[in-house]
């Protein structure tokens, strides 16, 4: 049985050109009818495609081809043998994070995050944060530019830039990583089981305002943020065996 394929592309010229070539060579269906979605673009477009699936509550496997900049979540671009590549592609399930933020004004905002949830200071004033893990206060006061909670899929993105650990896919772990910590100076973060719930309370939220970002979506002037895994919304990414995501994440640890 041939799986029905849908094709989506970013608005970059190189992605739109690739889309035209693929549409001329193969038959495609709409996303609503598809068994698999082929996405053309970079990592940002892949995240956008996955978020659209979460919003629609219709999750089908996504096979990306790099017609963007970074492409860590994408396979190599090729016009040839699409069905053969899809048939042998390795599948990885990714459970997103669920961020629940409450603003100073009392507004409650719930957003998913596939890579990370990050809290960032909004002004020149450092942020002061209290961090609780599974109902236990682990840091009374973290003075910093921010802090983030990253999934294994996102551990090589912003988390790695903030000197956080690289987490293997399937490790059932999350990274809790400070961003430019000032006090305590020696705290470099923690590795947590993905069953843990992280709650962050902003100390002095009016004087030292903080925003919360779930992947690319920002909530400003937050008072508290709670982050936990959402197992009700599992996503599936597909990779060529020679470019599987777990192998890419492993090899990132040896990049110098």
How many other C-beta atoms can be found within 10 angstroms of the C-beta atom of residue 214?
26
Instruction: Please report the sign of the dihedral spanned by the C-alpha atoms of residue 224, residue 228, residue 234, residue 237.
Output: positive
Instruction: Say if strands 127-133 and 136-144 run parallel, antiparallel, or are unpaired.
Output: antiparallel
The burial of 4, by beta-carbon neighbours within 10 Å (0-12 exposed, 13-18 middle, 19 or more buried), is given as: middle
Helix (H) or strand (E) holding 82: helix 82-88
- Structure tokens, 152: 């294994």
Residues 205 and 186: their CA atoms lie apart, in Å, by 24
Catalytic residue among 13, 35, 43, 145: 43
CB 39 within 8 A of CB 98: no
240 given a catalytic annotation: no
Residues marked as catalytic: 43
């Amino acid at each position: 049985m041939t799986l029905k394929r849908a094709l989506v592309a970013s608005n970059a010229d190189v992605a739109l050109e690739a889309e035209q070539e693929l549409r001329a060579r193969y038959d495609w269906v709409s996303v609503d009818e598809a068994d698999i979605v082929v996405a053309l673009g970079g990592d940002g477009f892949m995240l956008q495609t996955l978020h659209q699936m979460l919003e629609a509550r219709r999750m089908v496997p996504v096979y990306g081809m790099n017609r963007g900049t970074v492409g860590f979540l994408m396979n190599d671009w090729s016009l040839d043998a699409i069905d053969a590549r899809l048939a042998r592609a390795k599948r990885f399930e990714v459970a997103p994070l669920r961020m629940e933020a409450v603003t100073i004004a009392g507004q409650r905002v719930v957003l998913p995050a596939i890579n990370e949830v990050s809290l960032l200071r909004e002004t020149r004033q450092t942020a002061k944060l209290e961090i609780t893990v599974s109902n236990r206060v682990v840091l009374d006061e973290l003075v910093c530019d921010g802090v983030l909670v990253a999934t294994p899929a996102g551990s090589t993105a912003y988390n790695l830039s903030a000197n956080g650990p690289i987490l293997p896919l399937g490790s059932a772990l999350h990274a809790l990583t400070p961003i430019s910590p000032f006090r305590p100076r020696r705290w470099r973060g923690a590795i947590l089981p993905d069953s843990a719930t992280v709650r962050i309370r902003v100390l002095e939220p009016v004087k030292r305002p903080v925003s919360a970002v779930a992947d690319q979506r920002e909530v400003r002037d937050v008072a508290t943020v709670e982050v936990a895994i959402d197992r009700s919304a599992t996503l599936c990414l597909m990779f060529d065996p020679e470019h599987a995501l777990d192998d890419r994440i492993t090899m990132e640890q040896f990049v110098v």
